[in-house]
A and B are shown apart, each in its own frame.
Chain A
Amino acid sequence: MLIIKKNKFLIRLAILPVWVVLYIYLEPLANGLVYNVFGMDKTLRLTEAIRFFIFEVPKVLLLLTLIVFVVGIIRSYFSPEKTRKALEGKSLLVGNVMASSLGIVTPFCSCSAIPLFLGFVESGIPLGVTFSFLIAAPMINEVALVLLFGLFGWKTALIYLSTGLFISILSGWIIGSLKLEKWVEPWVYDIKAGKLAMDEEALTINHRIEAGFTAVREIVSKVWIYIVAGIAVGAGAHGYVPADFMASFMGKDVWYSVPLAVLLGVPMYSNAAGIIPIVQVLLEKGASLGTSLAFMMAVIGLSLPETIILKKVLKLPLIFTFVGVVAVGIMIVGVLFNMIF
């Protein structure tokens, strides 16, 4: 039994060097396949579109698998219950910063937004701090981060991460300062949450690695189709749509491009994996970075389904304030970026 377990572990360990070799040789492999095996003409647009697709799909999937695995392991150290404990009794600004940062790494699904909201409020965490968490958790998405890194480089990924943090900290802080507790449904404060009787068992490193593989299975199996479809659209646009196509209405010189992108993005909903290849097309065809980022954040950070879920615990004015503050935050970031870059 022990030998089998050990072998399984070793086999899994061997995946890493295979990953590295594949990643390094991917571009020459893709080029060789298209130019030599398929014998396609380098000057054709179709060749470029196919080469782009054959290279980008495995590249992004490789990156995604590795990062989701690592994030899965990191997330095994966090839970909403632990995050709540960490946030208890923190003052407003410190609490906002912590809640936003923890929002990135704490496992969160929008279906448990309500129990989480109730749990936070119940244990006395201020409304503004709770909102920082609820804004950061969906908006700063690890899949989006990886894709940005893989497709546009570390600077864009870092910009996304830091502006996402900035927006969630600021929005939470503003909502907290406005003292909007009166717009929370009164029954929320009547709920008596029990104490969790269970002790959290310390997981062994094997359990955490297992959690990493589980995350890969769950997330990659769900999002790969969006990635392939998105890159296919990107590949088509790569070869055929003129490079300055988007510049006329999403370029940096168009003053209304950012507000328009946010207004369009707020009611739309897509998971992070689906939106990034679209952002890639926008960027490549002349849309500015600020406008594209603003659009992406509006789509994944604010969504109609989530606001409908929140309607259970929040009154309408607070929902509008929440959406408004976050949307304005995203716009400011977009406009700033268009001015700087």
Chain B
Amino acid sequence: MVIKILGTGCSKCVNLENKVKEIVKSNNIDATVEKVSELQDIMKYGIMSTPGLVINEKVISYGTVPKDSQILEWLKEAN
């Protein structure tokens, strides 16, 4: 599974990236976490508020840092 964090570098984006990496690691989920920080690439996903969370090329959330339990649920669903 490929997880992408869309964000230009605001504090929320860094926060989400760290969170997702931690959740992936502590639950032994087989996934790669990528950071997308180029504006042109972020815009392709059609969102305007960062951070965006993309799992397998599908936008799952944007503009907020979701709760840990919610992120874990999404990751399990996608697996």
CB contacts under 8 Å to B, within A100-141, are 107, 109, 111-112, 114-116, 118-120, 122
Inter-chain contact B49/A196, CB cutoff 8 Å: no
Inter-chain contact A80/B49, CB cutoff 8 Å: yes
Best-surrounded residue of B8, B40, B42, B46 (most CB of chain A within 10 A): B46
Chain A residues near B44 (CB-CB < 8 A): 192-194
Answer yes or no: B47 CB below 8 A from chain A CBs: yes
Inter-chain contact A194/B39, CB cutoff 8 Å: no
Inter-chain contact A118/B49, CB cutoff 8 Å: no
Chain B residues near A193 (CB-CB < 8 A): 43-44, 46
Inter-chain contact B48/A197, CB cutoff 8 Å: no
Residue of B nearest to A114 (CB): B39
Inter-chain contact A116/B58, CB cutoff 8 Å: no
Complex CA–CA separation, A310 to B21 (angstroms): 31
Inter-chain contact A118/B43, CB cutoff 8 Å: yes
Answer yes or no: B72 CB below 8 A from chain A CBs: no
Inter-chain contact B10/A111, CB cutoff 8 Å: yes
Chain B residues near A192 (CB-CB < 8 A): 43-44
The range of chain A's interface size is 20 to 34
Complex CA–CA separation, A81 to B61 (angstroms): 12
Answer yes or no: A198 CB below 8 A from chain B CBs: yes
Q: What distance in Å separates the Cβ of B7 from its nearest Cβ neighbour in chain A?
A: 9
Answer yes or no: B2 CB below 8 A from chain A CBs: no
Q: Which residues of B are at the interface with A, using a C-beta cutoff of 8 A?
A: 8-12, 39-40, 42-50, 58-60, 62-63
Q: Which residues of A are at the interface with B, using a C-beta cutoff of 8 A?
A: 79-81, 84, 107, 109, 111-112, 114-116, 118-120, 122, 191-198
Q: Other than the known A111-B11, A197-B58, what 15 A-B pairs have Cβ atoms closer than 8 Å? A: A80-B48, A81-B47, A111-B8, A112-B48, A115-B42, A115-B43, A115-B50, A118-B39, A118-B43, A119-B43, A122-B43, A192-B44, A196-B47, A197-B59, A198-B60
- Which 8 A-B residue pairings sit nearest by Cβ, starting from the closest? A196-B46, A111-B10, A119-B48, A194-B46, A80-B48, A193-B43, A194-B44, A198-B59
